[in-house]
């Protein structure tokens, strides 16, 4: 059944996500602070709104796709004040677990069902409607959200109670960041000791070192068709966003007393790469920093 959906945050991800909801036949009301984002959304059939209140009034569901937790909590003040009582709140931004749980707490106190539902799949997945949604919140809210998320998703997975979507997302990205560094170090080590990149790739891609950072987004160009290395490391998934997610993981590890040494080190190495000016490049470009520091 078709729904009225309020969509707040029409950026790199929210723009194409809201367009897919329109294509599925939903009525989508969109809001962003940036006029250009609103214009682009309007061209995709989104009805643009002039305020959060106008976006959420009478909506069956409200989806937020914002830069971070502070934006989310600020925005929820307005959402909670204006939404109808039976509106389902779905936050798909990547935010700190503590902020996600605070958003849930405020929503529940105001009488709303809410979910954290961060995504993986990047802008390509947002455009193709093939995102993976990792969802935290009640069983009941999850079942209400499934048909809303479906046009944007390849897979929608319930990961447990409030905040568990964010926990799952940062665990995935801890593995992703660490594996990209490990793959990059292995190529540089192999090169320096005389093994051809192609030979290393041919072995590891069918061996126990196989991973997404190798076989889908290989940091060495010309080995894998889908890699951003083939396009001068134009993102893709920018190193600045990798750093953001690793910091969320490192801070959650610290707060929970989890011994996550590799996560901490990966955060430091992506911080260094960002400080060197790498933040705007695909996160696989960290191999350049490893080469530089190896004297190559």
Handedness of CA 78, 81, 87, 88 (dihedral sign): positive
Count of residues that interact with ligand NAD, criterion CB under 6 A:
27
**Which of 123, 132, 172, 215 touches ligand NAD by CB under 6 A?**
123
Contacts of 164 (CB under 8 A, 6+ apart): 116, 134, 135, 136
For 231, the token pair is 């396009």
Q: Is 62 in the site for ligand NAD (CB under 6 A)?
A: no
Q: Is 49 in the site for ligand NAD (CB under 6 A)?
A: no
Q: Is 8 in the site for ligand NAD (CB under 6 A)?
A: yes
**Which of 4, 6, 7, 14 touches ligand NAD by CB under 6 A?**
14
**Which of 4, 5, 6, 13 touches ligand NAD by CB under 6 A?**
13
Q: Is 67 in the site for ligand NAD (CB under 6 A)?
A: yes
Q: Is 247 in the site for ligand NAD (CB under 6 A)?
A: no
**Which of 4, 6, 9, 46 touches ligand NAD by CB under 6 A?**
9
Q: Is 103 in the site for ligand NAD (CB under 6 A)?
A: no
DSSP labels, the chain? ---EEEEE--STTHHHHHHHHHHTT-EEEEE-SSHHHHHHHHHTTPEE-SSHHHHHTT-SEEEE--SSHHHHHHHHHHHHHHS-TTPEEEE-S---HHHHHHHHHHHHHTT-EEEE--EESHHHHHHHT-EEEEEES-HHHHHHHHHHHGGGEEEEEEEESTTHHHHHHHHHHHHHHHHHHHHHHHHHHHHHTT--HHHHHHHHTTSTT--HHHHTS-SSTTS-TT-GGGGTT--SSBHHHHHHHHHHHHHHHHHHT---HHHHHHHHHHHHHIIIIITTSBGGGHHHHHHHHTT-
Using the contact rule CB under 6 A, the part of the chain among 40-48, 67-75, 143-151, 160-168 near ligand NAD is 67-75
The answer to whether the beta carbons of residues 101 and 161 sit under 8 Å apart is no
Q: Is 251 in the site for ligand NAD (CB under 6 A)?
A: no
CB of 98 to ligand NAD, least distance (A): 15
Using the contact rule CB under 6 A, the part of the chain among 139-147, 226-234, 236-244, 264-272 near ligand NAD is 236-244
Q: Is 63 in the site for ligand NAD (CB under 6 A)?
A: no
Using the contact rule CB under 6 A, the part of the chain among 7-15, 132-140, 178-186, 189-197 near ligand NAD is 7-15
CB of 186 to ligand NAD, least distance (A): 25
Q: Which of 169, 244, 247, 288 is catalytic?
A: 169
Residue 77 or 292: which CB sits closer to ligand NAD? 77
The answer to whether the beta carbons of residues 217 and 284 sit under 8 Å apart is yes
Q: What are phi and psi of 31, to 5 degrees?
A: -145, 140
Q: Is 172 in the site for ligand NAD (CB under 6 A)?
A: no
Is residue 169 annotated as a catalytic residue, yes or no?
Answer: yes
Q: Is 176 in the site for ligand NAD (CB under 6 A)?
A: no
Q: Is 31 in the site for ligand NAD (CB under 6 A)?
A: yes
Residues serving a catalytic function are 169
Q: Which residues bind ligand NAD (CB under 6 A)?
A: 8-14, 31-34, 37, 65-68, 71, 74-75, 93-94, 119, 122-123, 237, 241, 244
């Amino acid at each position: 059944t078709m729904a009225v959906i309020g969509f707040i945050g029409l950026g790199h991800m929210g723009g194409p996500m809201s367009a897919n909801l329109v294509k599925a036949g939903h009525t989508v009301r969109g809001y962003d602070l940036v006029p250009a984002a609103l214009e682009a959304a309007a061209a995709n059939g989104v009805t643009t709104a002039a305020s959060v209140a106008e976006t959420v009034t009478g909506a069956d569901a409200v989806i937020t796709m914002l830069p971070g937790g502070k934006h989310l909590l600020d925005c929820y003040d307005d959402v909670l004040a204006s939404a109808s009582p039976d509106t389902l709140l779905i936050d798909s931004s990547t935010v700190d677990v503590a902020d996600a749980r605070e958003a849930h707490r405020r929503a529940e106190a105001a009488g709303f069902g809410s979910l954290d539902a961060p995504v993986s799949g990047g802008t390509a997945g947002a455009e193709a409607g093939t995102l993976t949604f990792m969802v935290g919140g009640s069983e009941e809210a999850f079942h209400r959200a499934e048909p809303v998320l479906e046009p944007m998703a390849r897979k929608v997975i319930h990961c447990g109670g409030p905040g568990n979507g964010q926990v799952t997302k940062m665990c995935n990205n801890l593995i992703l960041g660490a594996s990209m560094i490990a793959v990059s170090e292995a190529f540089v080590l192999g090169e320096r000791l005389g093994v051809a990149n192609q030979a290393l790739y041919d072995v590891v891609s069918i061996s126990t070192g196989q991973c997404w950072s190798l076989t889908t987004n290989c940091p060495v160009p010309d080995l894998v068709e889908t890699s951003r290395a083939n396009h001068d490391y134009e993102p893709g998934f920018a190193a600045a966003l990798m750093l953001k997610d690793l910091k969320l993981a490192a801070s959650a590890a610290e707060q929970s007393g989890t011994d996550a040494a590799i996560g901490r080190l990966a955060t430091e190495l992506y911080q260094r790469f960002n400080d060197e000016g790498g933040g705007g490049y695909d996160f696989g470009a960290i191999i350049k920093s490893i080469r530089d520091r190896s004297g190559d």
